Amino acid sequence: MSILRITLATQGTSIQAVKLAIEKWFSDSMDRASGWCKRRTQVWLLGLGLAIAVGGHVDTIGIAQWLWSGDAARQAAMAAAQSYAGKNNPAPAAMPTKAQLKTYFDDVASQIGDLDRQITDLQYPIGWYDARNKVNRKFSWEFVIGALITRIAISMGSTFWFDALQSLIRLRSSGPKLEGR
């Protein structure tokens, strides 16, 4: 109630002036709350990105080198991504009911298991154990830099990556297609 008293005292009895002052106060409060929420979310995403990068040995530089190494790796990754997208349903539009939760989580767990098997079959260069060479991966400066890149990439959030992919698709679809590509 004090904000209303202060507004009435400073703005007078004009309803329009009081309304504008209250709108400004509300907008300013929401801007502060949004900024606080964005900062907290960014900190959590940076922490989550670090946990995924180090815990799962996800190294952006190593993955880029693996994809760059040849067409076979890129084609295998593309085929696996298309297969996964074709087989798995997107997230439900509405939250499942209590009765549907067990089935929903069982489906999610099954999808994660399938994805893990596909990554293992592809011999994708993530994880602390290299199945192809039957060795444990080590900590190196290249891994540290690649993990930091992974951490930052995860912290950008899905909206950033969806927008970036859409821009890339629009860029790729513009202009004539080059032969051999």
pLDDT at 162: 78
Cross-strand partners of 164? none
Mean pLDDT of 81-101: 70
- 161 neighbors 152 (Cβ within 8 angstroms): no
> Which segment of 1-15, 55-69, 93-107 scores lowest on mean pLDDT?
1-15
- 127 neighbors 52 (Cβ within 8 angstroms): no
Residue type at position 125:
P
Please state, in angstroms and as integers, the Cα–Cα distance from residue 147 to each residue in 23, 64, 78, 113, following that order.
Answer: 45, 12, 23, 24
Q: Please state the φ and ψ torsions of residue 58, each to the nearest 5 degrees.
A: -95, 110
Please state, in angstroms and as integers, the Cα–Cα distance from residue 87 to each residue in 11, 13, 26, 73, following that order.
Answer: 62, 64, 47, 21
Mean pLDDT of 23-49: 89
- 136 neighbors 128 (Cβ within 8 angstroms): yes
Q: Please state the φ and ψ torsions of residue 146, each to the nearest 5 degrees.
A: -65, -40
pLDDT at 91: 60
Token pair of 150, please?
């992974």
Please state, in angstroms and as integers, the Cα–Cα distance from residue 146 to each residue in 126, 142, 166, following that order.
Answer: 11, 6, 24
Q: Is the pLDDT of residue 30 over 90?
A: yes
pLDDT in tens, 113-162: 887 787 777 777 777 776 666 667 777 888 889 889 988 888 887 778 77
pLDDT at 174: 67
pLDDT bin (cut points 50, 70, 90) of residue 33 is: very high
- 137 neighbors 130 (Cβ within 8 angstroms): yes
- 132 neighbors 123 (Cβ within 8 angstroms): yes
Residue type at position 20:
L
pLDDT at 89: 60
Mean pLDDT estimate for the chain? 79
pLDDT at 175: 64
